[in-house]
Structure 1
């Protein structure tokens, strides 16, 4: 049976541009790169960039990365100083910034985790929210 997320593959229109963004802006560690793709890591996350036609969707699907509370303000300033587009304002618990990668993939840097989210939701639950223990 399934255990955990194995890897994340993102379609990219330019491997070089995306490689530089994930490496230099977000701090991923490069592992391998070739004409039509690249492998990078962020702790245990394996990210594959694969050159392809990028199809943008207008839904809430996004990829969130954890960041320590003491680093979030510096990271937000970095995103804004680089003029990286933001796609949403934060309205949930924990400080976040929602931004786009060079291909329009929706990303988030978030302070907090599932436990902090559930604690907040128990105080102010979403409509018809049910909790499972």
Structure 2
């Protein structure tokens, strides 16, 4: 039985550039690197960069990372000031910054949780919402 996410691996075209982005811009902890990849972590999440040919998607698929409400404004402002590309404006509950990594992977920096989203849906349900 699945108990959670073990790790996330993303394809990167330039290991040094991606390592710099995730370590120095997003403040992930870097642990090891080798010719074809690197292991980082953020919170309890194991995050792997793997050299390959990325295939950025044009759909809404993205990875969202937790940011505390007390740190969001300063953190988001710093990232935007570094010239990181924003791919979407936030329209949902909770503060969010939607950004692209150097290979065009869609990321979200988000304040909130499943519980806060469900509470918001009680107040403003999506079209066709069904509680399961």
Scaled by the length of structure 2, the TM-score of the pair is: 0.97
Report what 1:37 is aligned to: 37
Q: CA RMSD in A?
A: 0.7
Q: How far is the alpha carbon of 1:19 from its aligned partner?
A: 0.5
Aligned length: 132
What SS does the corresponding residue of 1:5 show, helix, strand or coil? coil
Report what 2:107 is aligned to: 107
Scaled by the length of structure 1, the TM-score of the pair is: 0.97
Which residues in structure 2 correspond to 1:3-82 (within 5 Å)? 3-82=3-82
Gaps of 5+ in 2: none
What SS does the corresponding residue of 1:84 show, helix, strand or coil? coil
Q: How far is the alpha carbon of 1:35 from its aligned partner?
A: 1.0
Separation in structure 1 between the aligned mates of residue 64 and residue 2 of structure 2, nearest angstrom: 21
Report what 2:120 is aligned to: 120
Separation in structure 2 between the aligned mates of residue 84 and residue 23 of structure 1, nearest angstrom: 14
What SS does the corresponding residue of 2:47 show, helix, strand or coil? strand
Q: How far is the alpha carbon of 1:11 from its aligned partner?
A: 0.2
After superposing on structure 2, the runs of 4+ consecutive aligned residues of structure 1 that deviate more than 6 Å are none
Q: How far is the alpha carbon of 1:128 from its aligned partner?
A: 1.3
What SS does the corresponding residue of 1:70 show, helix, strand or coil? coil
What SS does the corresponding residue of 2:16 show, helix, strand or coil? helix
